[in-house]
């Protein structure tokens, strides 16, 4: 089922799951906001405002991404912890400003200011919960071999660069704005490549990931996602330092 139709199915299923979580979160925050705005309780005693702590701010993230950004066992919600703060900040801005389409995230972030989003990005970037072991591999050996080739070598005949040239030999990403690709489910990875391919995930021009994803076949996407999802985390999963990798393409998301 890992094809273009499946990418659409995955996105729809993900949206249904997240909308259920969103409904509960909206109800919770609506009640909290009502209580905070009310000057007195029914008995006349002043009501105490909820503290504005980072733990309180990320409650809306924890339902899908885990309290520390470690991810969950749901295939369609990614791990956030340890990714470069610049990358996380760019994604929050993209959801808020509509460059990345996903209704629950678009709704949650619609009115949040830049500084608020930057603090959330910094919080998750600094978190370092352990990586779980990779999920059991379901792809066949031929698919994994193709994925490994595309990730580590690319395909020069089709002008497809290797994933490692930007994301690093250990796939841990590079500061300040290139994400690691470890600890992610194959379905999530496949859905994101499909989103770039069909324009529901975009960034500032030049949009290098859209350029690359449009060169990939459905089989390529399945193979890359399966191989990346099979990789264990290295001893040091931190992103490499800025400038450590020579990128083969200009990427607008890195320049902002």
Q: Which residues are annotated as a binding site for heme c?
A: 61, 64-65, 105, 163, 166-167, 209
Half-sphere exposure of 161 (CA within 13 A, CB side): 16
Among residues 183, 58, 57, which one has the least CA distance to residue 128? 183
Give CA–CA dist 70/158, Å, rounded: 35
* Token couple for 78: 């990614």
Buried b (16+ CB within 10 A) or exposed e, 57-92: ebebbbbbbbebbbbeebbbbbbbbbbbbbbbbbbb
Residue 44 and residue 39: Cα distance in Å, rounded? 9
Question: Between the CA of residue 219 and those of 4, 8, 162, 213, 222, what are the distances in Å?
Answer: 10, 16, 16, 12, 5
Enumerate the known binding-site residues: 61, 64-65, 105, 163, 166-167, 209
């Amino acid at each position: 089922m890992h094809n273009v139709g499946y990418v659409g199915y995955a996105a729809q299923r993900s949206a249904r799951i997240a909308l259920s979580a969103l409904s509960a979160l909206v109800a919770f925050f609506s009640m909290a906001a009502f209580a905070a705005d009310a000057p007195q309780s029914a008995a006349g005693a002043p009501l105490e405002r909820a503290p504005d702590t980072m733990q309180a701010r990320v409650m809306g993230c924890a339902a899908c991404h885990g309290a520390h950004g470690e991810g969950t066992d749901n295939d369609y919600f990614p791990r956030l912890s340890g990714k470069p703060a610049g990358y996380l900040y760019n994604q929050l801005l993209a959801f808020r400003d509509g460059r990345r389409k996903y209704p629950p995230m678009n709704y949650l972030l619609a009115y949040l200011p830049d500084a608020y989003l930057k603090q959330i990005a910094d919080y998750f970037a600094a978190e370092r919960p352990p990586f779980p072991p990779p999920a059991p591999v379901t792809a066949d050996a031929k698919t994994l071999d193709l994925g490994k080739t595309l990730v580590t070598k690319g395909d020069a005949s089709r002008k497809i660069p290797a994933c490692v040239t930007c994301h690093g030999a250990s796939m841990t990403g590079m500061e300040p704005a290139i994400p690691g690709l470890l600890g992610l489910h194959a379905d999530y990875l496949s859905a994101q490549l499909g989103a770039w391919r069909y324009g529901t995930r975009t960034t500032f021009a030049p949009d290098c990931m859209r350029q690359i994803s449009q060169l990939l076949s459905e089989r390529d996407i399945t193979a890359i996602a399966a191989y990346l999802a099979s990789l264990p985390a290295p001893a040091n999963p931190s992103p490499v330092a800025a400038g450590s990798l020579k990128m083969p393409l200009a990427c607008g998301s890195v320049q902002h």
